[in-house]
Structure 1
C-alpha cells in the first residue's frame, strides 16, 4: 500500500530529524543509569563515613549531570 509506505517514510524522517534537532526526549542509555546509581551509592557511603569532601565532590558531579 503506497499510503502506508509514505506514512512510514514520513514518520521515520520526522523521528530522525527531531532526534538530530533534540526535539524528542530519548531515554538515557542503561550504562549511564548504572553509573548514576553507582555515584549515588558512593555518595551515600561517603556521607555515612562522614567523608564530606568526597560526598560534596560526588554531589557536584551529579549536579553537573542534572541529577540533583
Structure 2
C-alpha cells in the first residue's frame, strides 16, 4: 500500500502481478499434487490377501523379538 501511495496509484484491489502469481502458484501446486499421486500404489487388497487375516499378512521375522524385558519378570 505504501508503494502505491508513493506512486499515486489507486489501491482498491490487488495489483495484477500479485494476483497472477497467486493463481499460477495455486495451479502449479494442484498439478504437482495430482502428478505425485500417480506414484502411490493402490491400497485395496488383492484377491490372495483378501482371504487372509491382517495379523498373518504383516507377521515378519524382523519384528519378532525373543530377548525382551518380559523374560526378567
- TM value normalised by structure 2: 0.30
- TM value normalised by structure 1: 0.32
Structure number with larger C-alpha Rg: 2
